[in-house]
Amino acid sequence: MNEKTIIKARNLKKYYTIKDGMIFKTSSTLKALDGASFSIKPGETFSVVGESGCGKSTLARLITMIERPTFGDFEVDGINAVTSDPEAMKALRERVQIVFQDPYGSLNPRKKVGAILEEPLLINTQLNAAERREKALAIMEKVGLRKEQYSRYPHMFSGGQRQRIAVARALMLNPSLVVADEPVSALDVSVQAQVLNLLMDLQDEMNLAYLFISHDLSVVQLISNHVMVMYLGRPVEQGEKDIIFGNPIHPYTRALLAATPHVDGKDRTKRIILTGEIPSPLNPPSGCTFHKRCVHMTDICKETAPEFRSVAERMVSCHHAEKFS
């Protein structure tokens, strides 16, 4: 494995100020992402999992440089993506591309596939029209699309084909990292498998790094090298895939894995029922943010936020982590 690091993130945080009230304005701080650190190497898939509202898509917007972090920073190919000047940022954005969740909403319905694929080249390169077309056709072939589909509109394709177009568009600038934000959740199960196999084949062929965002743990188990489980904006467990799936420590991770369907009976574990609703990120509980839904909660969980620390070959945020290791 190449030891070069594509992405190195350090304590990334993203806070939003929310204003409320018609006359007497009040403001609250929404901690959408509250301290994520990780690195991704070529050919690796780093997956981020958790329920809706846990900060997954916020992290995607930071890494793709759509938004700037409130605190912390990260490097792309060894260059700081937060403190760099605008010219360097433009080059870095070419190195990080994204595949969005919705294949129906992420493609311009008024443009033909060829124009959609060539647009990144038109904006970022000096290639002429013939060269852009040649590269677009080559990428289409790579993702399993036929050259006669070059002149068709997005509405003429199925959901799985549209997501192949979206993958092709992400590859047009030869990125180092592709951020895949729930790329198969809107697709039928049979089509999901085709798109996942395509992503893995492209990774092997092009040595791509993926930041893979999902709530589906069965998909994450299939495609990942490393996993970060998030809850209410914070990482709660992080480590190599086999370690996390083989022996989850954090009660939230254990509950998520227990809820994942398994065909093989020996892979099933006793269902863990989480009580209550996810707290509002505008008013998170004191201490451990998970304590109100945790069956192992004690007084220290109510009062003190747990440190994100190393236990049993992974990082975990739980006062009682050793009990489950």
Q: Is 2 domain-assigned? A: no
Residue 254 φ then ψ, to 5°: -60, -40
Strand (E) or helix (H) holding 85: none
Q: Is 197 domain-assigned? A: yes
Domain count, the chain: 1
Give the pLDDT of residue 134.
97
Q: Is 1 domain-assigned? A: no
Task: Return the SS3 of 174.
Answer: coil
- Name the residue range of residue 120's domain: 7-324
Please write the tens of the pLDDT for every residue from 12-32. 999 999 887 666 677 888 999
Region for residue 292 given its phi and psi (left: phi exceeds 0; alpha: psi -120 to 50; beta: otherwise):
alpha
Contact 77, 21 (CB under 8 A): no
Contact 230, 49 (CB under 8 A): yes
Please write the tens of the pLDDT for every residue from 173-229. 999 999 999 998 888 888 999 999 999 999 999 999 999 999 889 899 999 999 999
Give the pLDDT of residue 103.
82
Alpha-carbon gap, residue 160 to 165, rounded angstroms = 9
Task: Return the SS3 of 259.
Answer: coil
Q: Which of 101, 59, 120, 96 lies closest to 177, judged by CA?
A: 96
Q: Is 40 domain-assigned? A: yes
DSSP 69-83: -SEEEEEETTEETTT
Maximum distance among all Cα pairs of the chain, rounded to whole angstroms:
68
Q: Is 127 domain-assigned? A: yes
User: Which residues have a Cβ under 8 Å from the Cβ of 245 and sit 6 or more positions away?
Assistant: 217, 221, 227, 257
Pairing of the two strands 226-231 and 234-240: antiparallel
End-to-end CA, the chain: 29
User: Could you tell me the CATH number of the domain that includes residue 27?
Assistant: 3.40.50.300
DSSP 50-104: -STTSSHHHHHHHHTTSS--SEEEEEETTEETTTS-HHHHHHHHHHEEEE-S-TT
The model's pTM: 0.91
Give the pLDDT of residue 47.
97
Task: List, run by run, the mean pLDDT of 10-residue segments along the chain (325 residues).
Answer: 82 91 76 96 96 91 95 95 90 93 88 96 94 96 95 94 95 96 87 93 96 92 96 96 95 87 52 74 90 91 95 95 86
